[in-house]
Chains A and B, each alone.
Chain A
Amino acid sequence: MGRGRIFPSALFRKEMLIQNLIGGIQAGSLYALVALGLIIIFKATSVLNFAYGEMVMMGAYFSLVFYSFFRLPLPWVFLFALLSGIILGLLLERVICQPLQRASPMTVVIATVAMMGILKSLARLIWGPGYYALPIFTVTPFQFFSLSLSGNTLYTILISVSFMGLFYLFFVFTKIGKGMRATSENPIAASLMGVRIPRVFFLTWAIAGALAALTGLLIAPLTGVFPDMGNISVKGFAAGVLGGFGSVPGGILGGFFLGVAESLAGSYISTAFKDVIAFLLLVAVLIFRPTGLFGKQG
C-alpha cells in the first residue's frame, strides 16, 4: 500500500530530474556555443569580443530574412545564415582587428564595445524594436517513455553538439586548425614555422562569425528574434570563465555545467534564485580554482 503510493511519486521525481537535465543540456549547449565563439577569438587574437552577443543576434536576423522573407527551405537557411555570419565576422576583422593591430588590448576591447552598440542600433533601425517568431523546428511534443520531448529541444542539442564535434575535428586534424592552435600558443614561434598569422586572424573571425550565426539560428526558435537577444553573451562569458577561458573544451563543458546547474537549482531550490545559484557556483569556482574548472594551473 505504502509502496504503491510512493512509487508513482518517486517515478515522477526521476522523470523530473531527467527532464531537468535535458532542459539544462539544451540551455547549456547554447551557452557552450557562445563560449566557444568567444574563446576561439580570444585564443587566436587576444581580443575579448564584447560584440559577440550582437553577432549572434545578427545571425538570428539573417536566418529570419532567409526563412520568412525569401522563404528558403531549412537547409538553405542554415547555409546562407552561416555564410552571412562568416561575412559579418570578416567585416568585423577588417573594421576592428586589422586597423587596431598595434593598439593596446584595452583599445580593442573598447572598439568591440562600440561595435556592440552599433550592431544593436543597426538591427533596431532595419527591423524595428519588436519581436519576430522563427518557428523553424516542430514544437509538438512526443512521449519517450515517461518523458515529454519536443523537436526544438532535440534539434538544438543535436545540431550544437554536432557542430562542436566538427570544430574539434577541424582544430585537431586539419593543417589550418593546427596552425590556429599554434598561433594561440605562441604567435612568434608559429610565424617562424611558416604559419601566416594574418590569415589565421582572418579565419578565426570567419569561424567565429559562422558559430555566432549558428547560435543565433538555434536560439531564435526558442526566444524569438529581437535586438536585445545578444544578452545571452553574458552566460557565454560565464561559461567560458567557469571552464577556463583559455580552454576550448573547458568553455564547452562550462556551458553545459552552467545550463544544468541553473535548471537543477531552479527546480530543486527556487526559481527565484536560478541565476543567483548559478553565479554563486561561478564565484565559488573562481575562488577555489581561479583558472576555471578545466583551465591550466599557473
Chain B
Amino acid sequence: MKRTLVWVTFLSLLLLPATGQSEVGVTANEIRIGFYAPMTGFASYFGPSLRNGLMMAVDEVNNAGGIHDRKLKVIIEDDACDATKAVAAAKKLIVRDKVFMIFGGPCAHSVISGCNLADEEKIPLYVVSSAEELVKNYHKYCFIIGMTTWNQSRLMVDFAINELKAKRIGIVYQTGAYGQPGGEGFITRMKKYGMEPVATVVHKIGDTDYTAQVLKLKEANPDMVLVFSYTKEGAMIIRQAWEKGLKAKWVMSTTGNIPSVIDLATKEAVAGRYYAINLTSDIIEGPKLKPFLEIYTKKFPADAARPDFPNDRDTMAYIAGKMIIEALKRCGKDLTRDKFISTLENMGEFKSDIFPPARFRPNDHDGMKTTYWVMYDENGKRRFIDKLYEWNEPFSGSAGPGETAETIKAKEEEYYQTLKKK
C-alpha cells in the first residue's frame, strides 16, 4: 500500500507540469515563431526581405514590452526555395524548436508542402506568397498574403481593358508554377469581356533571346501586352520588343514593380508605356513609405544598399508581422493555436498607413484582394497611381471549407456564361 502511494505521488508529480502547461511554443515570457524562406540558392533575394520585414514588426512589439508580458522569439531556417528542404525546416521548427506558429514564403512548392504539413500537424502557417495553389484547395491552418496569381491575372486584365482601354491584347508568360496560372488567368478573365488574346507567347526562366516571342507579338499588332514573368525575364522581353520596333503598352505582375526594371528594360522602352501592380499604398520611394524606409535603412544597412531592397516583399512581411501581432494581442493571455486561427479569421479588415486593407475570413484565407498600380511616365519617372482597385465579383479564387479548385473554376465559368447570355 505504502509502495503504491509512493508511485501515485511520483506519477502525479510527473504529470503536474503537463496539466498546468500552456500551448506549444508559448511560455510565461516567450512566444516562439518559426521562420523559413530561401536564405541561400538561386532565390536567396527573397529570404532576407521576408526576414527583415518580419523582424521590424517583431522588434517593434518586443521593444514596447511584448504581448501580454511575452516577448516574440523568431527561429530562422533556410528552405533554399526547395520543397524538400522546406518540409525539413518546418519539421525541425515543429519537433525540435516546438514553435507556436510558422511564418514563411514565398516559393510556391515550398509553401504548398508547408501548408500540407501545417494541416497535418495542426500548426498555423502564415505565408507571404503569390502561389494560388495554396488557396485553390482549403487549408485550415494556412493563411496567405501577397496577392495570388489568380487575383493578379484577373486584376491586370480588368486594368488593361477598363483603365487603359486596351483593344488588342497580347499575352506573355513564363512556364512553371508562377507564370502558367497567371497566363491561363488572363485568358479566362478576357472571356468576361468577350475577348481573346491576339497572340500568346511563353518563355522559360533564364532565356536570353526573345526574338521568336517578340516577332510573334509584333505580327499580331497588339496595343497592349500583359506579362506574367519574373522581373529579369519580363524586363528583357520589353527591351527586346522595343529594339525590334513593337510599340505596345505593357502591364506586368507584382514582379514588375521594382525600380531596377527601368535599368534592365531601359528608359526608352518603358517611358509612358509601362504599368505594374503595386501592393503598397505608395511606391517604395514615395512619401508614405518614407518612415518605413528610414527605419529599414537604419536597421539593415547592408541589405538596404543592395539594388531593389527594400521592396514589396519587405513591406508585406512587415504588415504580415503586424497582423500576426495584432491577432496574438487579441487572443489574450491564454493563447492557443485554435484561438489564434479563429482570431485571424474574424478580426476584420487590418488597416495600416502603408498597405491596402488586408482581411481573412473563415471561408477565405487569402488576405489580399486589392491593389494599387505604378507606372513610368513619359520622362521615365516612376509614378504611383493613387486609386485602389478592389475585387468585387460574386466569387473569388479561394476555396472555403468543402470547396475545391474545380468548384471555383466552375463558378467562374458559370458567371462568364451568364454575362454572355445577358
Binding site for B on A (CB under 8 A): 12, 16, 19-20, 22-24, 26-27, 30, 124, 128-133, 135, 139-141, 143, 148-150, 152-153, 219, 222-224, 226-228, 231-232, 259, 262-267, 271-272, 274-275
Instruction: Known A226-B232, A272-B175; judge A131-B211 contact (CB<8 A).
Output: no
| Interface check B206, CB cutoff 8 A | yes
Residue in contact with B245 in the complex, picked from A20, A148, A152, CB distance below 8 Å: A148
Query: Are A223 and B245 touching (Cβ within 8 A)?
Result: no
| Interface check B167, CB cutoff 8 A | no
Contacts of B208 in A (CB 8 A): 27, 30, 219, 222-223, 232
Question: Which has the most chain A C-beta neighbours within 10 Å: B202, B209, B263, B266?
Answer: B209
Considering the chains assembled together, what is the distance between the CA atoms of A220 and B335 in angstroms? 53
| Interface check B201, CB cutoff 8 A | yes
Question: B200 CB to closest chain A CB, in angstroms?
Answer: 9
| Interface check B308, CB cutoff 8 A | yes
Query: Are B307 and A149 touching (Cβ within 8 A)?
Result: no
Residue interface mask B165-200, A partner, CB < 8 A = 1: 000000000010000000000000000000000000
Query: Are A223 and B236 touching (Cβ within 8 A)?
Result: yes
Question: A44 CB to closest chain B CB, in angstroms?
Answer: 28
| Interface check B75, CB cutoff 8 A | no
Question: B271 CB to closest chain A CB, in angstroms?
Answer: 12
Query: Are A135 and B266 touching (Cβ within 8 A)?
Result: yes
Query: Are A130 and B309 touching (Cβ within 8 A)?
Result: yes
Contacts of B206 in A (CB 8 A): 228, 231
Contacts of B264 in A (CB 8 A): 131, 133, 224
| Interface check B377, CB cutoff 8 A | no
Residue in contact with A148 in the complex, picked from B232, B244, B266, CB distance below 8 Å: B244
Contacts of B159 in A (CB 8 A): none
Instruction: Known A27-B208, A231-B206, A263-B212; judge A150-B260 contact (CB<8 A).
Output: no
Residue interface mask B223-242, A partner, CB < 8 A = 1: 00000000110011001001
Instruction: Known A124-B44, A139-B268, A219-B208; judge A16-B244 contact (CB<8 A).
Output: no
Contacts of A149 in B (CB 8 A): 243
| Interface check B154, CB cutoff 8 A | no
Query: Are B263 and A135 touching (Cβ within 8 A)?
Result: yes
Query: Are B44 and A259 touching (Cβ within 8 A)?
Result: no
Question: What would 23 A/B residue contacts be, using CB atoms closer than 8 Å?
Answer: A19-B244, A128-B306, A128-B307, A130-B260, A130-B308, A131-B232, A135-B266, A139-B266, A143-B245, A222-B209, A223-B236, A224-B263, A224-B264, A264-B212, A271-B201, A271-B212, A271-B216, A272-B175, A272-B202, A274-B204, A274-B207, A274-B212, A275-B204
Residue in contact with B268 in the complex, picked from A23, A140, A259, A266, CB distance below 8 Å: A140
Considering the chains assembled together, what is the distance between the CA atoms of A266 and B306 in angstroms? 36
Query: Are B216 and A267 touching (Cβ within 8 A)?
Result: yes
| Interface check B292, CB cutoff 8 A | no
Other than the known A20-B212, A22-B211, A23-B211, what 12 A-B pairs have Cβ atoms closer than 8 Å?
A: A130-B307, A130-B308, A131-B232, A131-B308, A139-B268, A150-B244, A153-B243, A223-B208, A224-B264, A227-B42, A262-B209, A274-B207
Contacts of B207 in A (CB 8 A): 274
Query: Are A19 and B211 touching (Cβ within 8 A)?
Result: yes
Question: A174 CB to closest chain B CB, in angstroms?
Answer: 33
Query: Are A23 and B212 touching (Cβ within 8 A)?
Result: yes
Contacts of A30 in B (CB 8 A): 208
Instruction: Known A16-B215, A20-B211, A266-B213; judge A141-B244 contact (CB<8 A).
Output: yes
Question: A255 CB to closest chain B CB, in angstroms?
Answer: 12
Contacts of A129 in B (CB 8 A): 42-45
Query: Are B212 and A267 touching (Cβ within 8 A)?
Result: yes
Query: Are B306 and A141 touching (Cβ within 8 A)?
Result: no
Query: Are B211 and A263 touching (Cβ within 8 A)?
Result: yes
Contacts of A224 in B (CB 8 A): 232, 235-236, 263-264
By beta carbon, the residue of chain B nearest A121 is B40
Residue in contact with B243 in the complex, picked from A133, A148, A266, CB distance below 8 Å: A148
Considering the chains assembled together, what is the distance between the CA atoms of A30 and B239 in angstroms? 18
Question: B201 CB to closest chain A CB, in angstroms?
Answer: 5
Contacts of A24 in B (CB 8 A): 209, 211
Residue in contact with B209 in the complex, picked from A16, A27, A132, A135, CB distance below 8 Å: A27
| Interface check B337, CB cutoff 8 A | no
Instruction: Known A131-B307, A152-B243; judge A222-B212 contact (CB<8 A).
Output: no
Considering the chains assembled together, what is the distance between the CA atoms of A149 and B263 in angstroms? 20
Residue in contact with B203 in the complex, picked from A143, A150, A271, CB distance below 8 Å: A271
Considering the chains assembled together, what is the distance between the CA atoms of A292 and B233 in angstroms? 32
| Interface check B219, CB cutoff 8 A | yes
Question: A46 CB to closest chain B CB, in angstroms?
Answer: 29
Considering the chains assembled together, what is the distance between the CA atoms of A139 and B211 in angstroms? 15
Question: B175 CB to closest chain A CB, in angstroms?
Answer: 7
Contacts of A140 in B (CB 8 A): 268
Instruction: Known A129-B45, A132-B307; judge A267-B215 contact (CB<8 A).
Output: yes
By beta carbon, the residue of chain B nearest A15 is B215
- Chain A to chain B: the 3 pairs with minimum beta-carbon distance, closest first: A23-B211, A266-B212, A133-B263
| Interface check B279, CB cutoff 8 A | no
Considering the chains assembled together, what is the distance between the CA atoms of A198 and B45 in angstroms? 42
| Interface check B269, CB cutoff 8 A | yes
Question: B310 CB to closest chain A CB, in angstroms?
Answer: 12
Residue in contact with B202 in the complex, picked from A27, A227, A271, CB distance below 8 Å: A271
By beta carbon, the residue of chain B nearest A134 is B263
Contacts of A267 in B (CB 8 A): 211-212, 215-216
Considering the chains assembled together, what is the distance between the CA atoms of A23 and B237 in angstroms? 13
Contacts of A27 in B (CB 8 A): 208-209, 211
Question: B85 CB to closest chain A CB, in angstroms?
Answer: 16
Contacts of A272 in B (CB 8 A): 175, 202
Contacts of B42 in A (CB 8 A): 129, 227-228
Question: B231 CB to closest chain A CB, in angstroms?
Answer: 7
Question: A154 CB to closest chain B CB, in angstroms?
Answer: 10
Contacts of B236 in A (CB 8 A): 222-224
Considering the chains assembled together, what is the distance between the CA atoms of A124 and B43 in angstroms? 11
Question: Which has the most chain B C-beta neighbours within 10 Å: A16, A130, A152, A262?
Answer: A130
Question: A208 CB to closest chain B CB, in angstroms?
Answer: 21
Question: B297 CB to closest chain A CB, in angstroms?
Answer: 16
Question: B308 CB to closest chain A CB, in angstroms?
Answer: 6
Considering the chains assembled together, what is the distance between the CA atoms of A11 and B175 in angstroms? 32
Contacts of B242 in A (CB 8 A): 139, 141
Query: Are A131 and B243 touching (Cβ within 8 A)?
Result: no
